[in-house]
């Protein structure tokens, strides 16, 4: 999984299926958990396909306790690949 911090990478692109944006709040340098994680996926044409946000109250966040952008991205991928709750 490649993680880019370049905002222009998330621009509309017709030659891709989806673009995934992972946004973190409270990025800390001392290994402490992030304040919150926000994610959205859009189609290559910019149509919304997925959106989610987590903070320390949600079970997925508690499971991963992300402390970096890479860990937050892994958490988002886990959410995307798990079956939806019934």
Do the domain assignments include residue 58? yes
Identify the residue with better confidence: 35 or 9: 35
Do the domain assignments include residue 4? no
Categorize the per-residue pLDDT at 16 as very low, low, confident or very high, splitting at 50, 70 and 90: confident
Residues with Cβ within 8 Å of residue 76, at least 6 apart in sequence: 20, 22, 37, 39, 52
Segments forming the whole domain that contains residue 41: 15-81
Do the domain assignments include residue 7? no
Identify the residue with better confidence: 19 or 3: 19
Do the domain assignments include residue 46? yes
Do the domain assignments include residue 33? yes
Distance CA 85, CA 32 (A): 29
Do the domain assignments include residue 66? yes
Do the domain assignments include residue 8? no
What is the pTM assigned to this prediction?
0.74
Domain count, the chain: 1
Do the domain assignments include residue 41? yes
The CA-CA-CA angle for residues 62, 63, 64, to 5°, reads 95
DSSP assignment of 72-84, as one string? HHHHHHHHHHSPP
């Amino acid at each position: 999984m490649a993680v880019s911090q370049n905002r222009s990478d998330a621009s509309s692109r017709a030659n891709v299926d989806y673009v995934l944006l992972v946004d973190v709040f409270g990025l800390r340098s001392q290994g402490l958990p992030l304040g919150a994680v926000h994610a959205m996926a859009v189609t290559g044409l910019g149509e919304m396909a997925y959106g989610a946000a987590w903070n320390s109250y949600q079970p997925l966040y508690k499971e991963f306790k992300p402390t970096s952008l890479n860990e937050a991205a892994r958490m988002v991928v886990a959410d995307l690949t798990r079956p939806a709750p019934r």
